Amino acid sequence: MCKETKMNEDSQKFFDALKEIRGILPLNEHLLNLLVEMNGGMDTNVQKFLCMYFSLLDDGNARIELNADKFLQIWKKKWDGLILLQESLCESGESGYDVTSLKEYEPSFAQIIKDGIQSLLDGNLKKLAKVIENAHDTNDEDLAQIDKPLTLTLDNGNFLYLTKHFIAKRDIEMTMGGLFTKENKNANDSEVKLYTGSGTFSLNEKQREAVTRGANGESLIVTGGPGTGKTTVVLYILWNLLKHPEKLDYSIYLAAPSGKAADRMRESLMSQLKKIDAQEKKDYEPIYSKLENLESFTIHRLLKFSRSKGAFTFDKENKFPSNSIFVIDEASMIDIGLFAALLQAIPADAHIFILGDPYQLPSVDSGAVLGDIWQSANFTVHLNESHRSKAHPQIGKLAEEIKTVAESGDKSKIIPHEFSLHPALVESIAPRNEVNFYELATDAEDDGKYGKQIERIEKVLDEWLDRKSKIGDKERSFYDLPELASQIVVDDGDSRQAELRNAIWDLSLSRRILSAERRGIQGVEQINKAACTLIRKQWKGNGHSLPEYSKYIPGQLLMITKNQEMFKLYNGDTGIVVFKDNTPYLMLKKDGFVFYQLSLLSSDALETAFAITIHKSQGSEYDEVTMFLPKQVGHPLLNNQILYTGITRAKSMVEIIATEKTYVSACEPPTKRDTGIEL
């Protein structure tokens, strides 16, 4: 590429500044240079506008409205958050960017946005952007002819898409109708006798509606928070569908966006399946056997990505067989491109059940598809009664408060809560409630001192590690993890080992620290480092030695961060470090306990997991959750979906470490991603 066709020096400097403060993905540099080359050069302000546009796309938007006032408002909110984040990193002792130089850009933002939008609307970037007068009139043939990287639609406002996002949006809109708005497939079978559970498995009104509609042939989106019975509903839908003799031979595909979520869906289904009435199992043994042997997939593995083709094997032209049933879980985590690819590969005659919680965090990549489609009353059943909330009503009430603000978009519905100093920072440890609100300092002047902040967090962490949980017939803390781990024998499968393995596994799931941040004083990296130091110190102080030459300690919790397909380990799987002689292994629970020598796993695919990010916690549940929120009002990770997702990971107790001001800020209605899907 010729030097003169790249971004000019001023634009490159702006891009580099954005990249340094993590305001834009580095891979966008190549794309921006390519756009400049394709268009034969462009004005500096237009180049900077495109930098800002791609930065906003990186936040998960599939499109941006070309309205200067709205664009500036969205951009200013992001920019202020990025500046604040840099200031907090500098405060915590980490290297941050010089915010003084960053603020020099601010006076020119309005003019940059005005010039960029005007250039697009005047047709000066016609080599880059396909202009479409009416997006809803486009069909498959029209989409196939779009040969430009950007698409500008002019109906119902002017919106700029990446073309791949526009095509995915239209594919979803055109496909959903065929999959979900169809006639009852079993309409002529008026004698269908529904199995809807017995004893503790009686279904509530909404669950019964979903089972009835699904069993009678409708494809559905089933939404609801944790404990509302989405998996239970699907089990009974499958059971009743398979009562039709011709459907016993159907293929059933369980899939989710991550391997962890897929495994967890299968585990949940198997757990519920075991509770089915013994007589029903006997009477319908073929159905029970079929469901018992189901396999789960990631969506990528289900669609069979072909490296040679650079595309999925199953697609619009090569669909799955018609005699298929699909159950897709954790749909809030599916991005717009993958959602489109999945729907296109499913034949119109198949049954499809999409499950998810639309108030959780959306996908890491672009889009918030479940949030756009679930409110279509024609094919959605929203489960609103949580069994977990009955056992722990305060957690359910708190989650409902936060969700109400998100639903209504009304800040006045925020309910403030009173925060007290964390018990670890006072002499006596008070009994905890089901929901607890704690702050780490009451002295504003003292709070800004780095050393004092570290000291407070270490005290909180020491109390957290020492806190007892009832595991079997014993009270155990996380400080007991090394002792339990040292008793695990990798190759031994006797009953004593089974008891030990279950004890340490149950202990590992008894609690987790969640943080919105990865970096900084309250980030998971700092917390995990401190946790390992405290555990190591106590273990050695009790007269024990650590395995020679190992960076790991017995009982250390580790999370897989990159799929390890060879071992069927997936991003989000969590295990416990145990040793055989001086060799560290990772113990995980799949169908049973399995062990993997850590030297066989990529070191960059492992990280300590006493604390995990709230994003990583999606799909997981813990008895107790301690959640750190960012300390500054306006922080980009202080938002409603972060707060709701973190709280709903807790089954019996949650403690929120924040301040009254930051908590209220986190409750505010979320900034919704603009996906553009209209059904």
Digit-coded pLDDT (tens) for 454-486: 889 999 999 999 999 998 889 999 999 999 999
* Contacts of 169 by beta carbon, 8 Å cutoff, 6+ apart: 62, 63, 161, 336, 340, 675, 676, 677
- Scan for tokens 């902040």, then name that residue: 453
Check if the beta carbon of residue 414 is closer than 8 Å to that of residue 422: no
Check if the beta carbon of residue 156 is closer than 8 Å to that of residue 176: no
Name the packing angle between helices 336-345 and 163-180 (round to 10°).
40
Answer whether residue 448 shows pLDDT above 90. Answer: no
The pLDDT assigned to 92 comes to 63
The pLDDT assigned to 193 comes to 57
Instruction: Kindly indicate the confidence band of residue 445, based on its pLDDT and cuts at 50, 70 and 90.
Output: low
If you count DSSP H runs as helices and E runs as strands, how many of each does the chain have, helices first? Answer: 26, 25
User: How high does pLDDT run on average in the chain?
Assistant: 89
E strands, 208-362, are 220-223, 251-256, 296-298, 305-306, 311-312, 324-328, 351-356
Instruction: Kindly indicate the confidence band of residue 363, based on its pLDDT and cuts at 50, 70 and 90.
Output: confident
Check if the beta carbon of residue 358 is closer than 8 Å to that of residue 332: yes
Label residues 331-365 b or e (16+ Cβ within 10 Å = b).
Answer: bbbbbbbbbbbbbbbbeeebbbbbbbbbbbbbbee
Beta bridge pairs of residue 132 = 153
Answer whether residue 190 shows pLDDT above 60. Answer: no
CA dist., res. 170 & res. 158, Å (int): 16
Dihedral of CA 97/103/105/110: which sign?
positive
pLDDT 10s digits, 31-86 = 999 999 999 878 999 999 999 999 999 999 999 999 999 999 999 999 999 988 88
Check if the beta carbon of residue 499 is closer than 8 Å to that of residue 611: no
- Please give the model's pTM, rounded to 2 decimal places: 0.90
Check if the beta carbon of residue 317 is closer than 8 Å to that of residue 145: no
